[in-house]
DNA sequence: TTTTATGTTTAGTAAATTAGTCGGGTTTTT
DNA sequence: AAAAACCCGACTAATTTACTAAACATAAAA
């Protein structure tokens, strides 16, 4: 039930991009240094995020990365899904796909995992980058 | 954000024990066969569950394992904590321990993970084995 | 009392995943 | 042209996961 380092790094880096949103592109090295992440590893993470259209890149000197849209339009769930795959506590209840498991129907555990998955996605899809940077306190 | 196979096996096996609760101890091989789990691996899982006092064992012929208390007294969260450790999406917000991370205070991501952890524990600590076996449908 | 059915425990291991590193690119600005 | 930046594929070390092996301990039944 843990996020991998990749997912955590991704979220932290995206928060930095959100803070820097109005100032234009930000070089990856600056982000990596600030967040203490290997810049080469962060490159891989940003590659995935760019392919998913969450960020865009500006090449050349004075280039860097910038959010692809406003911070309030990007939810934590969007980031997590790109870096960790579909959200589900167990494979039987993967988002999107119905009926993965042959035991569905008489399975007594499925209900719990579905409920858990739904609560998790509720939280992650409710909070945007804007929410994270604008309030210190996420009440709840 | 996935449960390991160990956690899933543990929950499934505990459900079987709950179904069998009034019939006395149940041999591990029977459970393993029924749930398609390696019986030697299940032994290790049951060892942890026994040490955590969720089940008790009866040795010798006609022995086996039985829930240590009534099915409604055992929550899914109890099982998951034993087999997967403290519930937390990231190490910074481990249950129980305050202040693990030096960045606490100015950390913008912490709030999200705390909220997520709380929702997860709410679900897992709300549902008991009795709930799982008595109703096919866990509404919610 | 012998046999058999069970649980107990430690150690080892193969496969998969994770978390990177390496080393070269290409593109754009200065 | 040079520097600053992104782009990308391949490789690797460390860790975790999911078991397997093997011997041992205990209790009930025959
Ligand atoms: S094990 Fe797949 S639905 Fe329950
Ligand atoms: S990284 Fe530890 S509290 Fe945020």
User: For B72-124, what is each residue's pLDDT tens digit?
Assistant: 999 999 999 999 999 999 998 988 766 567 666 678 999 999 999 999 999 99
Cα–Cα nearest to A73, from A95, A85, A55: A55
The DSSP secondary-structure symbol of A56 reads E
What is the model's pLDDT at position A99? Answer: 56
How much is the average pLDDT of A74-97?
A: 91
- pLDDT for position A95: 82
Task: Give residue B100 CA to ligand 2 midpoint distance, Å.
Answer: 8
Protein contacts on strand C: list nucleotides below 7 Å from a Cβ.
4-11, 18-23, 26-30
Nearest C-alpha in B relative to A75: B112
pLDDT digits (tens, 9 = 90+) for B3-26: 999 999 999 999 999 999 999 999
pLDDT top residue among B106 and B28 = B28
Q: What is the pTM assigned to this prediction? A: 0.93
- Which among A5, A7, A112 is the top mutation candidate for probing chain B, defined by the most B β-carbons within 10 Å of its own β-carbon? A112
Task: Kindly state the tokens that stand for B15.
Answer: 């459900």
Residue ranges of chain B whose CB lies within 8 Å of a chain A CB:
1-3, 8, 11-12, 15, 76, 80, 84, 87-91, 108-109, 111-112, 114-116, 118-120, 122-124, 127, 132-133, 136-138, 140
Rounded, the Å distance between the CA of A59 and C1' of C26 is 10
Binned at pLDDT 50, 70 and 90, residue B137 comes out as: very low
CATH topology of domain B5-139: Arc Repressor Mutant, subunit A (1.10.10)
Q: How many CB atoms lie within 10 A of CB A99?
A: 8
Tokens at A8, concatenated: 């955590």
Tokens, residue B60:
């010798």
- CB contact set of B97 (below 8 Å; sequence gap of 6+): none
Query: If pLDDT is split at 50, 70 and 90, which confidence band does A102 have?
Result: low
Query: Within a 13 Å sphere around the CA of B90, how many CA atoms are in the beta-carbon half?
Result: 21
- The percentage of chain A sitting over the pLDDT mark of 70, rounded to a whole number, equals 89
Give me the mean pLDDT over the A97-119 stretch: 81
The chain B residue lying nearest A127, using CA atoms, is: B112
Cα–Cα dist A128/B89, whole Å: 18
pLDDT over 60 (residue A140):
no
The arithmetic mean of pLDDT across residues A21-47, rounded, is 94
Tokens of B101: 């991370």
Give the residue among B35, B45, B110, B30 at the shortest CA–CA distance from B80.
Answer: B45
Strand partners, B128: B75
pLDDT band at A131 (very low <50, low <70, confident <90, very high): very high
Whether A125 shows a pLDDT value over 90: the answer reads yes
Burial B71-84 (b: 16+ CB within 10 A, else e): beebbbbbbbbbbb
SS3 state at B100: coil
Pairwise CA distance, residues A136 & A131, whole Å: 9
């Amino acid at each position: 039930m843990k996020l991998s380092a990749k997912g955590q790094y991704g979220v932290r880096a995206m928060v930095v991009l959100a803070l820097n949103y109005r100032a234009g592109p930000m070089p990856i090295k600056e982000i990596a240094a600030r967040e203490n992440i290997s810049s080469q590893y962060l490159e891989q993470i940003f590659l995935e995020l760019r392919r998913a259209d969450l960020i865009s890149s500006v090449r050349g000197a004075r280039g860097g990365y910038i959010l692809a849209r406003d911070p309030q339009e990007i939810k934590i769930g969007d980031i997590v899904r790109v870096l960790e795959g579909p959200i589900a506590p167990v494979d039987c209840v993967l988002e999107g796909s119905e009926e993965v498991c042959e035991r569905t129907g008489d399975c007594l555990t499925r209900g719990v995992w579905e409920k858990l998955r739904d609560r998790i996605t509720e939280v992650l899809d409710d909070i945007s980058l804007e929410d994270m940077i604008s309030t210190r306190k996420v009440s709840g």
